[in-house]
Amino acid sequence: MCGIAGYIGEQPAGALLLNAIRQLEYRGYDSVGIATIHGGTLHVRKGVGKVSDVNAALRFAEMAGTLGISHTRWSTHGKPCQENAHPFVDERQEFALVHNGIIENYLELKEKLRKEGVSFSSETDSEVIVHLIARNYRHQHESERRSIKEAVLKTLQELQGAYAFCVLHQASQEIIAVRNGSPLVIGLGERENFLASDVSALIQHTKRVIYVNDFELARVTKDAVELFSFHGEKHPLHVKDIKWDLEQAQKQGYKHFMLKEIFEQPEVIAESLRTPHSAFAPFVPLSFASEPSTFTTQSARRYKHITIVACGTASYAGLLGKYLLERISGIPAVNEIASEFRYRDPLLENNSLVIAISQSGETADTLAAIRLAKEKGARTLGIINVVDSTIAREVADVLYTRAGPEIGVASTKAFTAQLVTLYQLAFALAGKKSDLPFDIIENVKKTLALNEHIKQLAQKYYHSQNFLYIGRNTNFPLALEGALKLKEISYIHAEAYPAGELKHGPIALVSEEMPTIAICPQDAVYQKTLSNIEEIKARNGKVIAIGTEGDTTLQKLCDDVIFVPKVDEIFYPLVLAIPLQLFAYHIADIKECDVDQPRNLAKSVTVE
Ligand code: M6R
């Protein structure tokens, strides 16, 4: 949550930092701000709202200076308002700071600073950092040359929590940046360097990057980058080349990123099927894995029990994964919401495999769950989209999903890529040579061709205030995912249930005003789900079914049907996910909601 960026070089910093926060806006969009240094003075502009609105009023690109930092906020402490917007400055206006994360002991630090005579201008936790740095800078011995790096290192000893921040001083040509739990990457240019929460903010300038690790401090000037431990020891620099380009992170003519990403799914599946782990190969070991990789399809079979940890959409992929792993590989699997798992002292042994699923690879609860699993001696495996992200680096082994950059806050193509990887893993663990059939790509394309029909249904139903989603077996996690998609982007209340649970309570909700989306392909539980639909119809409920093409029974029974192509039963989730995504998308679009940046949300949830 929150995006931070920095620039030092020879170009106007305001324009570059504005572009950076445009790219990072998916991380938070409550308020934005930029600080630059020009003529030995700090210049700060900040305001409430989205980047484009604030920029229209404040014209960031006109800010003078070739050195600066910027921020886009997802509020944690204090409401979105001018006072709580970053950057923060110290009382003498010498330092400016942008922060992503949470300072857990900020109240205690605030109290301490207040007693020292510091007054605060915001309700945020972040502001304490800049005052501490300023205080520690000034307390340095008068006879020595004052060092911002030393002042920051001293400050780090006082901070508790998770953070990444960038700080600058009006009289210094450097940016000091720190990482502890929140992402931070440095982009290397010619006589210029960049900092950002995410590669997407700097990829148009450079593809040579250094990922800052937890407990590292970076000192960045226009000609050099140095890394230090939190104790001040110098660390080596590991430069990596980014393989994708900006084009992939742009809308390419689609009205929204979400729509573009939905339509990219055939290519995502194709790309996933081309990866080495699809061909029943040993898993690719990571050079930076915390222990030497011995995790192959052979050795993996020694795991007697699998636990999947994830949040949100990734967790619904995990629940589907549980069904697939048990059915295909025969290994018992459970799926747990990461935020619950991490606080319940789970029973794990060294023959347990814990799989973390995450698009961003930065989700705080999923990361904590993996750390706990490691502490308890379990083997860890990540199913991760963002290469070199924190979780990818912390797990013993990683299977990268091939979704490419996902920008829309609502996860779509990443979900599909996670499913494909789970199928591949399940087949590999089962020792089966089979893999996904290539014709699944054609069937996904055919399902996408239903877009116009689904848009018409969205027109018909968008006035409804509540929706029920039901499904059995693998259709139940899909129901959860469909309901999440609808509520997060259209703000319509939606609840999902296993279809068999209806008569244990939720059927009381059924009325003409509360439509049910019933996921009912011709699979092993078809007849059972059909009976549940009958029960809804008998109570005057409206039913929009998603079923198999040619199913006349479903057509007669339901108010509306979205017919997907017939596929091998086990692969239905890959086609059924699409109408659920498109239905939510069109309802949100008709309601003129901010599809890509829904209220109160952020793409990357790096706070718990
Ligand atoms: O980056 P992750 O996959 O770990 O994110 C997990 C959830 O925050 C994410 O899937 C969220 O639920 C999506 N916005 C749902 O569309």
Q: Calculate Rg over the CA atoms of the chain.
A: 25
Q: Which of 311, 341, 600 to mutate to test the pocket of ligand 1 (most atoms within 8 A of CB)?
A: 311
Q: How many domains, the chain? A: 3
CA 412 to ligand 1: nearest atom:
16
Question: Would you state the pLDDT for residue 247?
Answer: 67
**Catalytic annotation present for 251:** no
Final residue in a domain of this structure, among 436, 464, 481: 436
| Residues 224, 334 share a domain | no
| Residues 466, 518 share a domain | yes
Residue 530 lies in a domain: yes
| Residues 470, 354 share a domain | no
Which whole-number Å values give the CA distances from 395 to 297, 382, 423, 589, in the listed order?
Answer: 17, 6, 20, 38
Residue 247 lies in a domain: no
266 CA distance to ligand 1 middle (Å)? 21
Query: How wide is the angle at C-alpha 315 spanned by C-alphas 530 and 377, nearest 5°?
Result: 130
CA 604 to ligand 1: nearest atom:
1
Residue 548 lies in a domain: yes
| Total residues found in the chain within this entry | 608
Question: Strands 175-180 and 216-220: what pairing?
Answer: antiparallel
Question: Would you state the pLDDT for residue 565?
Answer: 97
Question: Would you state the pLDDT for residue 86?
Answer: 96
Q: Is 136 in the pocket of ligand 1 (CB under 6 A)?
A: no
CA 603 to ligand 1: nearest atom:
14
| Residues 432, 449 share a domain | no
Which whole-number Å values give the CA distances from 494 to 62, 309, 472, 479, in the listed order?
Answer: 45, 24, 17, 10
Question: Would you state the pLDDT for residue 438?
Answer: 78
483 CA distance to ligand 1 middle (Å)? 14
| Residues 505, 385 share a domain | no
Strand partners, 399: 383
| Residues 281, 264 share a domain | yes
CA 485 to ligand 1: nearest atom:
16
Distance from C-alpha of 566 to C-alpha of 603, rounded to nearest angstrom: 34
Domain of 105, CATH number, reads 3.60.20.10
Q: Which domain holds residue 522?
A: 438-608
Domain of 368, CATH number, reads 3.40.50.10490
| The dihedral formed by the CA atoms of 556, 562, 567 and 570, expressed in degrees to the nearest 10 | -100
Question: Would you state the pLDDT for residue 144?
Answer: 67
314 CA distance to ligand 1 middle (Å)? 6
> What pTM did the predictor assign?
0.78
Q: Which of 308, 360, 389 to mutate to test the pocket of ligand 1 (most atoms within 8 A of CB)?
A: 360
Final residue in a domain of this structure, among 208, 242, 276: 242
| H-assigned helices in 83-167 | 106-115, 127-138, 148-156
Burial 308-329 (b: 16+ CB within 10 A, else e): bbbbbbbbbbbbbbbbbbeebb
Residue 430 lies in a domain: yes
**Catalytic annotation present for 603:** yes
| Residues 444, 406 share a domain | no
Query: Can you read off the two tokens belonging to residue 237?
Result: 């620099």
1 CA distance to ligand 1 middle (Å)? 12
pLDDT digits (tens, 9 = 90+) for 525-576: 999 999 999 999 999 999 999 999 999 999 999 999 999 999 999 999 999 9
| Residues 197, 97 share a domain | yes
| Residues 500, 402 share a domain | no
pLDDT digits (tens, 9 = 90+) for 352-398: 899 999 999 999 999 999 999 999 999 899 999 987 788 988 998 88
Final residue in a domain of this structure, among 412, 436, 460: 436
Distance from C-alpha of 570 to C-alpha of 157, rounded to nearest angstrom: 53
Parts of the chain with a pLDDT under 50: 278-293
| Residues 308, 209 share a domain | no
Q: Is 488 in the pocket of ligand 1 (CB under 6 A)?
A: yes
Residue 248 lies in a domain: no
| H-assigned helices in 250-343 | 257-263, 265-273, 297-300, 312-324, 338-341
Which residue lies with its CA nearest to atom 10 of ligand 1?
313
| Residues 381, 295 share a domain | yes
Q: Is 581 in the pocket of ligand 1 (CB under 6 A)?
A: no
Distance from C-alpha of 157 to C-alpha of 385, rounded to nearest angstrom: 33
Question: Would you state the pLDDT for residue 607?
Answer: 75
| Residues 449, 383 share a domain | no
